[in-house]
Chain A
Amino acid sequence: MAIDCLVLGAGQEVGKSCMVVSINGKRIMFDCGMHMGYTDSRRYPDFSLISKTGDFDNALTCVIVTHFHLDHIGALPYFTEVCGYKGPIYMTYPTKALAPLMLEDYRKNMDRRGEDEQFTSDHIAECMKKVIPVNLKQTVQVDKDLQIRAYYAGHVIGAAMFYAKVGDAAMVYTGDYNMTPDRHLGAAQIDRLQLDLLITESTYATTIRDSRYGREREFLKAVHNCVAAGGKVLIPTFALGRAQELCILLEDYWERMNLKVPIYFSAGLTIQANMYYKMLINWTSQKIKETYATHNAFDFKNVRNFDRSLINAPGPCVLFATPGMIVGGFSLEVFMQWAPSENNLVTLPGYCVAGTIGHKLMSGKPTKIDLDKDTQINVRCQIHQLSFSPHTDAKGIMDLVKFLSPKHAILVHGEKPKMATLKERIQSELGIQCYCPANNETVTIPSTHYVKADASGTFIRSCLNPNFKFSTCSSTDKSYLDSNKSKAVSRLSVSDDRATEGILVVEKGKKAKVIHQDEFLHMLGEKKHEIQFAYCFPMHMARTEDLSSTSHMLCSFDKCTLISRLSMILSDELSEGNILDLGEELQVESFRVSVCSSDNCPHRLSSSLQNGSESVFFCCHWSVADEKLAWKIISIMKNSTL
């Protein structure tokens, strides 16, 4: 069995995330995004690669959307309404609630720019009707074999990572996620799962970000200094996400510092979005959830609505205005009024698309900006660039991959050279096979397949009882080799053998079965064979008075003395094994040695070497397992004198 991953978008690039994964006969499309940088056919994923005939309903089991950003959901109305996919679509509740807002906003902007319309408002509404909302950690049985489950991903409200399992093969698609919490969202959270495949974003494949406190501090300091000096602060943002985060930050600071300067929200999407946030408390960070009972963090105390008459009102203020990057709309209107004063401050988001005013402000510090042929804006205000990002950094990706330890990993949603670096790190540091395929490529990885087997009663009973063994595993510490005295390092370790006592039996035409090892012989109708070695050899003896008897027949007393002497020699020379003195016999593991009194011992190799009373024959027996030990003992015995 194998898992095939067809990358339709976000392969070695950021934009139009879309991935089709075939897993044990099921085909899941993860995300259905659009590329914001293109207006031609490259805007959408190439859906024809899924099905030549356009029969998407049979080609796909389901579509899963991780969050409401357009590069993850933008192509969905097109795919369902224009391309005609009618199967199930899964997303979390907040995503379902907020996605129409985003799509509608985008559609309007397209309209405004006079581009040809890809989908209509009706399309969006129709598309949303097909969506099945899911909750966090809720296991959804898509069909008989396919299970999916959403995990919290941070990033934006409602963002989720999705776990999918078909039979024994399991995988996780992360979508975008954040491993560190911010002021309004928590960090990604997932269980330790057994995975064959992890598909993770890699926006910051090589960046390691420092603590967010530093970023917050810089932002607060800039804003505070500006309002303290009587200036006005313009914060152009997207409606969802960053606006709420910054607002919570400011609200908290205002509260603590007892500031009375007004904070305004420009009318429109932001207010509506705040309403949604208030309802989606369950998806926010721990702190907001905890304090929700006493105070809803999205009930901003200091925030008021803004209207145009306030633009030129005297006194300091802070204004959140859409859209971000100052591409037009209200934020541009305010910017034009406020930019000429050096008291004022404009904060810019971390990333601005080229061509926007935001981008111009970021690249160098222009004193004049030409809006169009006739309009020129004098820019004398202060500029503060935010470096907040809802994506995890390289360390976060590594931490997640390490925590989940999947068998394979695929990187998407990142820049090619950086992804290559991260891929190397994952392979070398974590030993996990990693891929970063380009768009329209397919990666095939093997998947786990378990064989179902019956178990015998004896085996089950033996499994119920613990059966642990202690052993001292010895290894030789190499660092001591130089000093010529090798020191054995032994450590106590414990193992539980109950599963290893089972034997898997597959009989022809029958189901596989696990039986206990004791049953095995019985089942085969065979007897147990054991291989035993035997060896009889003489050992030198020192001439002593009490043993220089003329008789070859040693009495049992003498045998005992000999054995105990031997035991002493062995315990001096032998480092391992437990030497047991059993009277007339000596035992080390399975190795047994006794004095041989028969002259015609069958295990004796040469009977010619006879030195009379100076040597005594010893007969040894051992089983295969202890062969090494046996020869070691024998060589010790041969080299020493009793």
Chain B
Amino acid sequence: MGMVAELERRQSAMELHIINSIQQSLDNNQPLSFQALASLRSLIINPATPDSTLSSVLDALSRSLQLNRDPVFLHHALKLLSDLASHRPHLSPFALDLLRSDSLFSSASPRLVGESLSVLLSLASIGNDIDAARFVSLCLGPSVSVRQCLLRNAEKLVFRESVLLAVFLGFTRDPYPYVRKEALDGLVKLCKNGDFDDRDVIEGCYCRAVELLRDAENYVRSAAVRAVCEWGRLLVICSEDMNKQDSSDAVFIQLGCMVRDMSVDVRLEAFEALGKIGLVSEDILLQTLSKKVLGINKDKAFKPVEGLDISASAVAGAYIHGLEDEFSEVRMSACYSLRTLTVFSLRFACEALNLMMDMLNDDSTVVRLQALDTIHHMATSNHLKVEKIHIHRFLSALVDSSSVIRSMTRKILKLAKLPQFKLFKLCIDGLLGNLEIYPQDEADVFSALFHIGRNHGKFTVHIIEEVSPEMEPASGGKLSFDSTRVAAFLVLAISAPLSHEKDVSAIPPRIFSYAVTWLGRISYGLSDLMNQEKLLAYLSECSRSSTISLADFKINEALLTVESDAPIPLCSKVDSPVSMPFWKDSGGTSDYHHQEFLSLGKSAAHAEYELGEHSELRKYVNLIFKKVKDFWSLVELGCTTEAFKGIRACKEEVASFTADSPGSSGAVAFTLQYLQVIGMLAKVWGHLRPTKMLNPYGVGKLELLFAKLDRRLREISNRFIGLSKGEELQILDLVLVACLLRLSKMEICCCNAAMKLLLSTVAHVEYLHKEGSIELSNFVTEVKKSLHDADSSSSSSTCKPLLFKKLLDSFSLQQFVLYGTPRYIHAELAVPSNDSENPLPFIPGIPASIPLAITLHNVLTESRLWVRISMNEESTQFVFLDLNLIRNEKRSINVVREFTFVAPFYRTPKAISFTVRASLGLECFRENIDRVKVFGGPKCELTYLCPEKEIFLCKSTEC
């Protein structure tokens, strides 16, 4: 105890001594010696030093700074200050003040300035210390390290884009390669964040980046590849529509020249960049797969920018080279970028498939996996054409020693549609071989067999006929069911009745009873489709009669999600694109699903019944969402028309999907609604974003589009219940985008309303975020941040179109993933026996009563419903529908209610006959209306639940 006290006493005595000696020398106007500085440092880094001592240290330092201008001294003082600031956060403001003071930050020595800058940057406290002029003059100074540091951190210092652009572009000419690299990186960042529409500037940057593709240094070249990619994309966007394809091809070729670079990093960058250029014409794509110059490309030359002629032959064999690269990273990157390009051309996909099949022989497992993933991607985008020459190579992956590879291969097989029996047989043999060598794969092999059998009903029947002697019990009456091979055939056999093809009921019924003996193992394999009880029910049903009419069998109905003549019914076979072990994926979700149904108050049996179908449906719609995400990237590229086509195709696909069973309609309706929202958003986006197109629509048309978009958004956010918080957040993202789009356009913006909506949406997002602890998207965080900034800087500035435009850049559509089953709120409205021939009677001037037969689906009791009856624009009236007052015989079921409601229509005109239109609206609580409503209508905007119904009224003749 005494010793500690003694130590403390000694230490404080020493501190005192140091401080005193320093004070003394300062009082004598003597600069501090280096020894004194060293002892100060010891004080600073010693955590036991009290704050009072440290503030006197600070004081001493500031005084000595005024005395001594020696650069070496200043350097040490700077180091002390930065130590102080980092060790004692609460003292850092003072230290920083000192740092910013004349002596250091504005010192004549660029080295000191550089050092103080990097200290400030490392403490993340660079604010308004440096203005554009000072920044430029420092950059132009002779110190290379300062220049490099400034360029690297330029965007933290936040200047006008024009300043940054000039500086970055200028320093691409610097003789020091690292400065050139920083400048190029700066240009890339600028291009991503910035908003450029001056074609000269874009061309200038692009050309400069292209020049640097031939730089002597590897790292400059790889930075140049990135820059060419980004500015090239901008160049494509700003090209006229006629030249878009050509300039996109040219950028692609330009990047393709770099795949033969000697540096691995450059090659990696090059392939990554190739995958980013979306719109490439087929000829060019095909050329990348052939080292010989194709006839069609012989004399093809592009001139995206004056003086940058490039010939199509330059890209010859780019992918061949990439796929046989020495480095597995490059091969993987090549596989990956192929994956994005196969979407655009079927012919290219076929050719690429050849290469991918070869890649299955690669010596690196990750490359093989990536190749399979690419094939899987082709399959999901309907661009997979398996041919006979492929099948051997492909099936050899089934006996690969890596289980991930095998599982991925089976995943693809589940999707395959084989044209010939021979191929089918080969696949089955392949799967049996897999099972034989790796018995641990049994569950997934069974599942694959089941899927493949369902996809090829006739072939299955055929093959079962061939092998049926094998499946029969041995002569002794003993069943030889111990063979896994027999089990595999049984799985195949029982899949046949569920086939999408018609008239395939030739499987002998006893087979199904054999299968029952394998129930446990089979049902484990098919756990993604049905559970054990259901399987048993199915098997016993099938084994009962020889002529099964499965048409009325429930499971078949449930499994047969698509009409048999549908092309490749992806829906029934696609699972999540995330490459995780299959069983885990499906098992996990069905459990979740199960619970959800229970919570809805349905019987457990009912839930199980729907189980299989729903997970399938969900997979299917999630696939659609994935596609939508791809289309959105097209929109961002400015190819709105292409994206639109895609979305429309998706809509058709979803619409063709009949939702018979009760639970599925919600998901289907939701998907359709989502597609519509994205479609509208794409339309608006295409008109507002800098795509260089002259807006073909005027402001009025745009206003209409906005109104439509708003309505769609309102519908998607209010008409579905049972969405998870994550799902809701994703929808709110879209609402935010719509708000920002509106705000970014001065002419149509009614600032206050949009701003209000924006703020309330952000608030809601925050609420959900807190509740659900869900990660917010980057975009939302940006929006929140800038709203906060705008708030703090000036309260009056509400309309800042540029700010909002900038914010929009950070938006990228996330893939929507549907986990649960949303329920769709909708209603049917009818007026019994009313048409133009049989009008309702009314007496002019006296309220008329309109009997409405209303069916509500999924409407919660607490929601506020209004009947809107309008005769024309001016006379619209709202009638409140109090759900609590409605007597309903089937009250227990929350889902559907049917009742009749007599709505009064007050303002009957003085006319012989007239029509009104009625519809049912749900009040959305988040959106307040500014307008004052007549007749005390709803306070908030309405979402309409049914189409408007026309009602005919005729002057009563009875009175």
Contact = CB atoms under 8 A, between A and B. Distances in A.
B320 A186 contact: no
Contacts of A285: 326
A180 B200 contact: no
Nearest to A214: B358
Interface in B287-346: 291-292, 305-307, 316-317, 320-321, 323-328
A220 B323 contact: no
A26 interface: no
Contacts of A138: none
B355 A211 contact: yes
Nearest to B173: A496
A578 interface: no
B429 to A, nearest CB: 13
A211 B320 contact: yes
A234 B51 CA distance: 84
B200 A213 contact: no
A449 interface: no
Contacts of B142: 461, 464-465
B291 to A, nearest CB: 5
Given A466-B171, A475-B306, A213 B359 contact: yes
Contacts of B41: none
A491 B324 contact: no
B37 interface: no
Contact of B200 (A253, A492, A496): A492
A287 B328 contact: yes
A4 B147 CA distance: 45
Contact of B204 (A189, A286, A491): A491
Contacts of B328: 286-287
Interface string A200-219: 00000000111111101100
B172 A494 contact: yes
Nearest to A216: B361
B317 A496 contact: no
Given A465-B142, A468-B173, A496-B174, A211 B393 contact: no
Contact of A493 (B171, B208, B393): B208
B957 to A, nearest CB: 74
Nearest to B359: A213
Contacts of A187: 325-326
A181 interface: yes
A223 to B, nearest CB: 13
Nearest to A193: B216
B955 interface: no
A584 interface: no
B83 interface: no
A258 B324 contact: no
Interface residues of A, number: 51
Interface in B350-401: 355, 358-359, 361, 363-364, 392-393, 396, 399-401
A257 B393 CA distance: 12
A454 B50 CA distance: 59
A472 B393 CA distance: 57
A387 interface: no
B361 A217 contact: yes
Contacts of B207: 491, 493
Contacts of A466: 139-140, 147, 170-171, 173-174
A424 interface: no
A211 B358 contact: yes
B437 interface: yes
Most buried by B among A191, A252, A466, A468: A466
A516 B10 CA distance: 64
B358 A217 contact: yes
B317 A213 contact: no
A490 interface: yes
Nearest to A469: B170
Nearest to B437: A258
B203 interface: yes
Interface residues of B, number: 53
A399 B291 CA distance: 12
A300 B459 CA distance: 43
A292 interface: no
B169 A494 contact: yes
Contacts of B170: 466, 468, 470, 494, 496
Interface string A177-199: 00011010011011110000000
Nearest to A251: B363
A425 to B, nearest CB: 11
Given A257-B399, A287-B364, A477-B306, A210 B262 contact: no
A208 B291 contact: yes
B261 A403 contact: yes
B850 to A, nearest CB: 66
Interface in A276-324: 285-287
Contacts of A189: 262
A15 B746 CA distance: 77
A83 interface: no
B581 interface: no
Nearest to B143: A464
Contacts of A191: 262
B141 interface: yes
Nearest to B320: A211
A393 B358 CA distance: 20
Contacts of B323: 211, 213
A271 interface: no
Contact of A217 (B175, B393, B437): B393
B361 A494 contact: no
A489 interface: yes
Interface in A389-444: 393, 395, 399, 402-403
B262 A491 contact: no
Contacts of A208: 291-292
A213 B208 contact: no
Contact of A286 (B307, B326, B400): B326
B320 to A, nearest CB: 5
A255 interface: yes
B149 to A, nearest CB: 15
Interface in B158-211: 166, 169-175, 200-201, 203-205, 207-208
B260 interface: yes
Nearest to A194: B216
A209 B325 CA distance: 15
Contacts of A470: 166, 169-170
Interface in B111-143: 139-142
Contact of B208 (A255, A490, A494): A494
Interface in B254-270: 260-262
A495 interface: yes
A508 interface: no
A285 B331 CA distance: 14
Interface in A443-467: 461, 464-466
A190 to B, nearest CB: 6
Contact of A465 (B140, B169, B325, B399): B140
A256 interface: yes
A256 B169 CA distance: 52
Interface string A216-243: 1100110000000000000000000000
Given A211-B358, A495-B173, A258 B401 contact: yes
Which 10 pairs of residues, A with B, have the shortest CB-CB distance?
Answer: A492-B204, A213-B358, A181-B326, A464-B142, A496-B173, A468-B170, A186-B326, A399-B260, A491-B203, A286-B326
27 contacts: A180-B321, A181-B324, A186-B326, A213-B324, A213-B358, A214-B358, A252-B363, A256-B399, A257-B399, A257-B400, A285-B326, A286-B327, A286-B328, A287-B326, A395-B291, A395-B316, A403-B262, A465-B142, A466-B147, A466-B171, A468-B170, A470-B169, A470-B170, A472-B200, A489-B306, A491-B203, A493-B207
Given A210-B291, A213-B358, A258-B399, 6 more contacts: A187-B326, A208-B291, A210-B320, A211-B355, A489-B306, A492-B201
Interface of A: 180-181, 183, 186-187, 189-192, 208-214, 216-217, 220-221, 252-253, 255-258, 285-287, 393, 395, 399, 402-403, 461, 464-466, 468, 470, 472, 475, 477, 489-496
